Amino acid sequence: MVKAGFRGGVHPDDRKSATAGLPVTRAGVPDRIVIPMSQHLGAPCEPSVAVGDRVERGRIVGDIRAMVSAPVHSPVNGTVTAIVDVLLAGGTRSAAVEIEPDAEQDFESWLPVTETETMELACAAGLVGMGGAAFPTRVKLRPPADMPISCVILNGCECEPFLTCDHRVMLEKAEAVVGGGRKIAEIVGAKRVVIGVEDNKPDAIAALREHAGGDVEVLALATRYPQGAEKQLILAALGKEVPHGKLPAATGALVHNVGTAAALWEAYQLKKPLMERVVTVSGAVARPGNYLTLVGTPISALLETAGGVTEEQVRVIAGGPMTGAALGSLDVPVVKGTSGVVVLRMSESAPAVDGDQPCIRCGRCRDACPMYLLPYELGTQANVRLWDGCERLHALDCIECGCCAYACPTRRPLVQLIRGSKAALMARGAKL
């Protein structure tokens, strides 16, 4: 049975057929690996190596200084050549450890994670949410004491167009996904695990069901963007709305990405730290694919693995086209949260427009908004910096899914405007 989802949303052309059927293959080893100290929400790491140090695959090269953080590891055997300042996909900068890899690499071995207690192991292995938000997994495994977790939901929706990395992980590592889900449930004391997968991935649903059963249910969900947004997924899977201003844990649910569950299982079973991940490279490239990519690989090198860009005028996006970041430089490195690199032809990419673009009051943005907001009104207030009005219109509830902008016939930059209002509200003390 396919569960109906949530109110609103859109149906963009999913463009997944170029890579959905392609098994994961390993990307090339670049000339230099650049490992940012900030790959997660929370405090950046501190470099724990110096220029000239030899490092082994799996060695920690950036250690944590705070509870909300996650260490970073070298994905190669090599030599530290510099501590640099690097631009990240979102436009921020971070200190980074630059490593020159040895000519020969053994990808089957690594320095094992030594922790044995599962929650500490999640930290030592550097686990973070791999669906994009990159929240440190150890912290997420400790929900507030007054919010008991009854159900772990694994997010296998992958509703963003082009991206198929989670799809391939569910197919090729179904046992690890299910095993990781059970382990998370054991840690947080949940009685059941629900794996939500959009019904456009029937092969992944079948693969997961071979290992599910008992306390683990695989739920086929309607294919509609943003089915994989946390609040929409909880509503679709459990029929519960996250109360305004509350954590998702208030519903008794804890959501993790399927890739994170598989990484937790590998950390637990194989003592393997998170130092590589599957990245979908698609769009205007010669060899689209799902590439197992070393963290720290420059996007330019990953595009070379994919045979290079095939068009002159393109926009390169880190992540999917609905919520990803357009890159100003191809030097930015792949990080733990990089799910895809999508090369859009300029003709496929929305033209840049300013906030004064007219609103014809068609209401399509309101109908598309899965958070019951009034995007046209929010955009108007934000454009003239009326932050009190934005607050009254619940700008902070916006999940930046992009449905409103996608639906808008006059291409008003609604998400940019609302994102700006959220930043202004938070700067004056409002909390998400």
> Which residues of this chain interact with ligand SF4, rule CB under 6 A?
359-365, 368-369, 371, 373, 375-376, 379, 398-404, 407-410, 412, 414-415, 418
- In the complex, the smallest distance separating the C-beta of residue 57 from ligand SF4, rounded to whole angstroms, is 40
What is the Cβ-side half-sphere exposure of residue 154, based on CA atoms within 13 angstroms?
A: 36
- In the complex, the smallest distance separating the C-beta of residue 349 from ligand SF4, rounded to whole angstroms, is 18
**Backbone angles phi and psi of 86, in degrees to 5:** -125, 145
Residue whose entry in the numeric block shows the structure tokens 């999640």: 122
The nearer residue to ligand SF4, 360 or 426, going by C-beta atoms, is 360
- In the complex, the smallest distance separating the C-beta of residue 153 from ligand SF4, rounded to whole angstroms, is 20
- In the complex, the smallest distance separating the C-beta of residue 145 from ligand SF4, rounded to whole angstroms, is 30
d(CA 147, CA 38): 29
CA distances from 351 to 204, 347, 403 (A): 35, 9, 16
CA distances from 104 to 54, 107, 294, 298 (A): 14, 10, 15, 19
Strand partners, 254: 152
- In the complex, the smallest distance separating the C-beta of residue 241 from ligand SF4, rounded to whole angstroms, is 14
The nearer residue to ligand SF4, 324 or 375, going by C-beta atoms, is 375
The nearer residue to ligand SF4, 49 or 403, going by C-beta atoms, is 403
Per-residue b or e along 271-306, where b marks 16 or more CB atoms closer than 10 Å to that residue's CB: bbbbbbbbbbbbbbbeebbbbbbbbbbbbbbbbbbb
d(CA 212, CA 154): 12
**What is Dmax (Cα atoms) for the chain?**
62
Spatial CB neighbours of 180, under 8 Å, sequence gap ≥ 6: 154, 256, 260, 261, 262, 263, 264, 265, 268
Residue whose entry in the numeric block shows the structure tokens 């979908």: 280
Closest CA to 408 of 349, 370, 363: 363
The nearer residue to ligand SF4, 192 or 419, going by C-beta atoms, is 419
- In the complex, the smallest distance separating the C-beta of residue 356 from ligand SF4, rounded to whole angstroms, is 12
- In the complex, the smallest distance separating the C-beta of residue 226 from ligand SF4, rounded to whole angstroms, is 7
The nearer residue to ligand SF4, 361 or 431, going by C-beta atoms, is 361
d(CA 402, CA 320): 11
The nearer residue to ligand SF4, 330 or 374, going by C-beta atoms, is 374
The nearer residue to ligand SF4, 101 or 320, going by C-beta atoms, is 320
The nearer residue to ligand SF4, 339 or 383, going by C-beta atoms, is 383
- Confirm if 357 and 410 have CB atoms less than 8 A apart: yes
The nearer residue to ligand SF4, 58 or 402, going by C-beta atoms, is 402
Look at the chain and count its residues.
432
- In the complex, the smallest distance separating the C-beta of residue 156 from ligand SF4, rounded to whole angstroms, is 21
The nearer residue to ligand SF4, 115 or 400, going by C-beta atoms, is 400
The nearer residue to ligand SF4, 42 or 320, going by C-beta atoms, is 320
- In the complex, the smallest distance separating the C-beta of residue 397 from ligand SF4, rounded to whole angstroms, is 7
- In the complex, the smallest distance separating the C-beta of residue 100 from ligand SF4, rounded to whole angstroms, is 42
| DSSP sequence for 85-116 | EEE-TTS-EEEEEEEEE-SS--TT--PPP---
Closest CA to 291 of 307, 275, 302, 304: 302
Residue whose entry in the numeric block shows the structure tokens 């994919």: 306
- In the complex, the smallest distance separating the C-beta of residue 385 from ligand SF4, rounded to whole angstroms, is 18
3-state class (DSSP) for residue 55 = strand
Amino acid at 392: R
Strand partners, 25: 291
